[in-house]
Amino acid sequence: MPAIVARDLTKRYGRAVAVDHASFEIGRGELVGFLGPNGAGKTTTLRMLAGLIRPTSGEGRVLDQRVPGPALRRVGTMIEEPSFYPYMTGRDNLRYAARLHGGVPERRIGEVLDFVKLDRASDKRVRAYSQGMRQRLGLARSLLWSPDVLLLDEPTNGLDPVGIAEIRENLRAVAAEGVTVLVSSHILAEIEKLVDRILAIDHGKLVYDGPLDALVHRLDTDTVTYHLRADDGPALLTALRDQGLEPVAEGEMGARVTLPPADADALVGRLVSAGVNVLEARRQVDDLEGAYLRLVRGDGRPS
């Protein structure tokens, strides 16, 4: 039984479509990355799954129950920048949230503060917290009632590299205990280190749902991109065009060219034979960011 289900989930605001018939399932214990540019529909989707807003059509289900419903008591959320009472301490903010939810033992507050490394700052007023500290407190609040599902929207905003790495390890530890985690982020390098599966959304439509490796390594694999530099930039461009290629100039001495893999290995040799003094030939190694950008720009599709 999947932990999270979206079936034709759609949200319209007047004529504007924020989410357009998004459908996916996430199994129990999965840790899934949710990618998309600003305004793509990530936060709206998470808000619908959390029961904060109702869909225009379609439905969301969590733990086999339709949203909104009682299953949301078993969901932890951190959607958009978390808000707290600034005049209260971090500990008291969590104590208040625990009372509202009910059934949270007092010792659990200390456990989650320690887990996100806020134990030493727990008795400071939140107004003195940095953005990164508020993000940590938001994650601690989402974990208070030991949820079965976590919906997290940009949880590493405002954190330094050390803090980002710590949150990454926290989420891995939570998922290892069987908690289902759906986490959105614009820091693609961090998502790449965290998840094995990606959901990508653009202009409200789900454009990719599959393994991370498939997005990175199989997207548009029928071509290879080279970044070249020569002591005579115009001659380099001319030689590439003479070979039937369509180079893109990169500065005065460089060019980028995309060609079939079968022709790639002989490229430099052909340029040298044409009298071009090649100073550098670098084959582009695709990463999540490059694959994702090509996906949303329509330059390629996963096989």
Rounded Cα gap, residues 174 and 157, in angstroms: 19
Q: Which segments of the chain have a pLDDT < 70?
A: 216-223, 284-291, 293-303
Say whether 224-285 and 4-211 share the same fold. Answer: no
Work out whether strand 75-78 and strand 180-184 pair parallel, antiparallel, or are unpaired.
Answer: unpaired
From the list 70, 64, 79, 66, the residue with the least C-alpha distance to 26 is 64
* pLDDT score at 217: 63
pTM of the shown model: 0.76
Rounded Cα gap, residues 301 and 290, in angstroms: 13
* pLDDT score at 191: 82
From the list 223, 231, 285, the residue with the least C-alpha distance to 255 is 231
* pLDDT score at 63: 96
Q: Given CATH 3.30.70.100, say whether it is the number of domain 224-285.
A: yes
4-211 topology per CATH:
Rossmann fold (3.40.50)
Residues 6+ apart with CB under 8 A from 195: 31, 32, 33, 183, 212
From the list 193, 192, 219, the residue with the least C-alpha distance to 208 is 219
Q: Are 228 and 270 in contact (CB under 8 A)?
A: no
Domain extents in the chain: 4-211, 224-285
